[in-house]
Amino acid sequence: MRIAFVTETWLPSTDGIVTRLLATVSELRERGHDVLVIAPADGPAEFPGPAVETVPTVGAKFLYGGKRWGLPLPRVARFLRAFEPDVVHLVNPAFLGVAGLIAAHRQGRPVVASYHTDIARYARHYRLGGAVPLIWTVLRSLHRRAELNLATSDAAITELTAHGIPGVRLWPRGVDLVRFRPAPARRTTGRPIALYVGRLAAEKGLHRLASLAEPAGGFRLVLAGTGPARAHLERTLPPDTVFTGLLHGEDLAEAYRAADLFVFPSTTDTLGLVLLEALASGLPVLAAESPAARSTLAGTTAARFFPVDEPVDLPACARALLAGDHRAEARRHAAQSGWDTATDGLLDLYAETLASQRSKPLPYQSSPVRTPGKVK
């Protein structure tokens, strides 16, 4: 099968979307599928394997912390026509996704769109709350024109359905169970390490972790990642908070293995793949109460939740969680979500979309479309 991903986010950015896309692309290519990635040109990036075509970007400080967005230029249609994909997958469509959608329809190619980021909720954190109705109008317009819509958690499916997007299916979650694995034994001396991995941004609720790093809290807080809120957090969090910057590959895996506890204060994520990475590394998880965290952590005793709308003794919650040995249970829960299983599910969904598309006329077709190969 030939699969074209049109994504709003790509390397060198590091977030859950990129993590999922990199793992999926690798799995697909290992199975013999041909992959094209159309993405914003956001700086130098090296990733061996798929063909990557880029478009220029534009950004503004007031829009999602200055993130660069790919321009929806006509060249997207040219990229798709040259590659001749069997399916076009729009990843978190917003700006570049518009060009992908229009081009795919005009060329008669089936479209799958996946929802990863609650853009409307993020807008409120950047003082753009008045734009929320318009954001959902645009998202509905994009997703209703796809043959198949995917979400990364049951909570996200519920949200999309509530906003008038019907028939949303689950794109199963996944984690690299080889890279992320438990340390032979907990080896921390002195204060236990509470680790956060992810974007340093207002919508992530990192201020909620301050009490852990206070002298009375008793934890060493380590924040792995970067983002527009880093300078503010360096000024406002306790002075011995550790900021590692971006970590990749084995450096990131080692950060998990060196920690005692994983903390997840966000209530805006639609899934939180870092939760699975932490569990795969044998870490117990202390997470803010949210539908997405509940969905990802359902069925494991290696996690506890804290409310964000009322005072809570976070250090006491963390110490209670560390009182037990949760490594085996954490790993067991994560082991149900390997990327091979997630990719199996995605390929099944592609196959359903192609089978449905074959039975329909192609009213927008303007160029020949290849006969899809067998799904492997």
C-alpha–C-alpha distance, residues 363 and 183, integer Å: 56
Nearest to 76 by CA among 6, 146, 148: 6
Average pLDDT over residues 282-308: 95
Q: What is the dihedral of CA 51, 57, 61, 62, to 10 degrees?
A: -90
118-158 residue pLDDT tens: 665 554 555 555 666 788 888 999 999 999 999 998 888 99
C-alpha–C-alpha distance, residues 159 and 151, integer Å: 10
Q: What is the mean pLDDT of the chain?
A: 89
CB 105 within 8 A of CB 145: yes
Least confident segment among 126-135, 277-286, 295-304, 322-331: 126-135
Average pLDDT over residues 255-264: 97
| Residue 46 confidence (pLDDT) above 80 | no
307-331 residue pLDDT tens: 998 889 999 999 999 999 999 999 9
DSSP 120-148: HHHHHHTT-GGGHHHHHHHHHHHHHTSSE
Nearest to 2 by CA among 288, 316, 354, 284: 354
Higher pLDDT pick, 211 / 13: 211
**pLDDT score recorded for residue 371:** 46
Name residue 207's amino acid: H
| Residue 370 confidence (pLDDT) above 60 | no
**How many Cβ atoms are within 10 Å of 364's Cβ, its own excluded?**
13
At residue 304 the predicted structure's pLDDT band, cuts being 50, 70 and 90, is very high
Which element (helix H / strand E) includes 262? Answer: strand 261-264
- Whole-model pTM? 0.84
| Residue 276 confidence (pLDDT) above 90 | yes
**pLDDT score recorded for residue 42:** 75
At residue 364 the predicted structure's pLDDT band, cuts being 50, 70 and 90, is very low
**pLDDT score recorded for residue 49:** 74
**pLDDT score recorded for residue 155:** 84
**pLDDT score recorded for residue 367:** 44
**How many Cβ atoms are within 10 Å of 127's Cβ, its own excluded?**
10
At residue 292 the predicted structure's pLDDT band, cuts being 50, 70 and 90, is confident
DSSP 282-304: T--EEEE--HHHHHHHTT-SSEE
C-alpha–C-alpha distance, residues 127 and 131, integer Å: 9
The β-bridge partners of 220 are 193
| Residue 362 confidence (pLDDT) above 70 | no
Q: How many CA atoms lie within 13 A of 75 on its CB side?
A: 10
Average pLDDT over residues 64-74: 80
Average pLDDT over residues 258-265: 97
At residue 184 the predicted structure's pLDDT band, cuts being 50, 70 and 90, is confident
Query: Which DSSP category does 347 fall into?
Result: H
At residue 279 the predicted structure's pLDDT band, cuts being 50, 70 and 90, is very high
At residue 13 the predicted structure's pLDDT band, cuts being 50, 70 and 90, is confident
| Residue 302 confidence (pLDDT) above 50 | yes
CB 183 within 8 A of CB 282: yes
Non-local (6+) Cβ contacts of 298 within 8 A are none
SS3 175: strand
C-alpha–C-alpha distance, residues 104 and 110, integer Å: 7
**pLDDT score recorded for residue 361:** 59
Q: Which two tokens stand for residue 14?
A: 């590091």
Strand order in 220-224's β-sheet? 242-245, 220-224, 193-197, 261-264, 285-288, 303-306
The β-bridge partners of 195 are 222, 262
Q: Are strands 87-91 and 111-115 parallel, antiparallel or unpaired?
A: parallel
C-alpha angle 335/325/268, rounded to 5°?
A: 60
70-122 residue pLDDT tens: 999 999 999 999 999 999 999 999 899 999 999 999 999 999 999 997 665 55
**pLDDT score recorded for residue 376:** 46
CB 23 within 8 A of CB 341: no
Average pLDDT over residues 50-56: 93
Average pLDDT over residues 28-44: 90
**pLDDT score recorded for residue 271:** 82
| Residue 363 confidence (pLDDT) above 50 | no
Higher pLDDT pick, 173 / 242: 242
**pLDDT score recorded for residue 285:** 98
CB 76 within 8 A of CB 38: yes
**pLDDT score recorded for residue 50:** 84
Least confident segment among 33-37, 266-270, 349-353: 266-270
C-alpha–C-alpha distance, residues 347 and 345, integer Å: 6
Domains along the chain with CATH numbers:
2-174+339-358 (3.40.50.2000), 193-334 (3.40.50.2000)
